[in-house]
Structure 1
Amino acid sequence: MSLVTLATLGFGDVVATEPLIRVLAPVEALTGFALLTASLTWFMQIYPPLSRRSALALRLHGLAEADFAAAVRDLSPDTISRVTEGLATEINVVTVDLTQHSETYYFQEANPYQALSRQVHYALELCDAVAEVDTVEARVGASTLSASLDRLAVPLSQFTGREGDAGVREVLAAYSADH
């Protein structure tokens, strides 16, 4: 009877006859409902951060496939600005996700194109390439992207054991090695 009540099934085949059990049965049913609700809520909250992380990895992979860093000198300042600002924003969102949902760090992506740990190095390469372009938009874009990568390294350094004076490159390398 206890299992049926906790699972909130309530078949009605077995009914409590003792007064104490009749009082505790609804409490047990509410406990079962709360456990079920909490479990489903956690699952529903964990997938959006994982999806955003995978989307960022796919975007970085696409930029790498297009060899965006090598072509950055030939691109318009508006294009450079748009791409770096967009990447910085996506990196900031992933940083917030890692801070608010720290358990997502331990989820590993099977597809290497969707694994941020495998694609994040291209953000560093892109940041370096954009920093070499001599326009105001490129300097601002490189600075924004660099700051976002610095912020991403903070929660990652806590998971990888690289807290302290480790640089962004070391933290991201440790993240890649860990995954």
Structure 2
Amino acid sequence: MTQTRADRLRRRCGFDGNPLRRRVDRVQWRVGLLLLLVFLVVAPIACAHAVRSVHTAGVRAERYEAATRHRVEATVVGVRPLESGRDVSVVWTGPEGAMRTGHYTSWKATRLGERRELWAGPHGGLGETGPRKHVRTIGDDASAGAATTAVTGLPLLTLYLLVRRRCDRCRYRRWEDEWADFDRRSRSA
């Protein structure tokens, strides 16, 4: 049973000496095999390069944010509704003991006087999220790898589909010619 399936797959992929295969069938098969080999060579190289670049940038961002962001306990002193979320004004005591003010956009319900744990950046930027986590970097790596593979494969797939369309047209034209020839011969006999 397994031999039959493997044999069927081998024949379907064109690895047989079938004398009924036309030249156009062999051309289509060879072009498809060549494009597959190009994909198998180019995609891993492009993917590795893209993932390495994204990973390096992600780790650099992790280290930078871990070194420059710090947690602050802030008090809400103003809330202004926006089209999407709220503009929240807060005050907190900085690491040097001075009072600081700032604002950030929040999607959470917020009341005046409420205490919030926020993250302050190096240039006074505030946010509800802490420094970048390594999980996000890994997710970005996976996304970059998948996108690079798709971007590498789509042009090759498109090229194969164009070749296949051309081969199908040629195949159908030859099929019509052979039927017309058969019809002529059967009428003359």
Which protein has the larger Cα radius of gyration, Structure 1 or Structure 2?
2
Q: Work out whether the TM-score is over 0.5.
A: no
State TM-score, norm by structure 2: 0.28
Q: Which has the higher contact order (CA 8 A, sep 6+)?
A: 2
State TM-score, norm by structure 1: 0.29
Q: Which one has a larger percent helix, Structure 1 or Structure 2?
A: 1
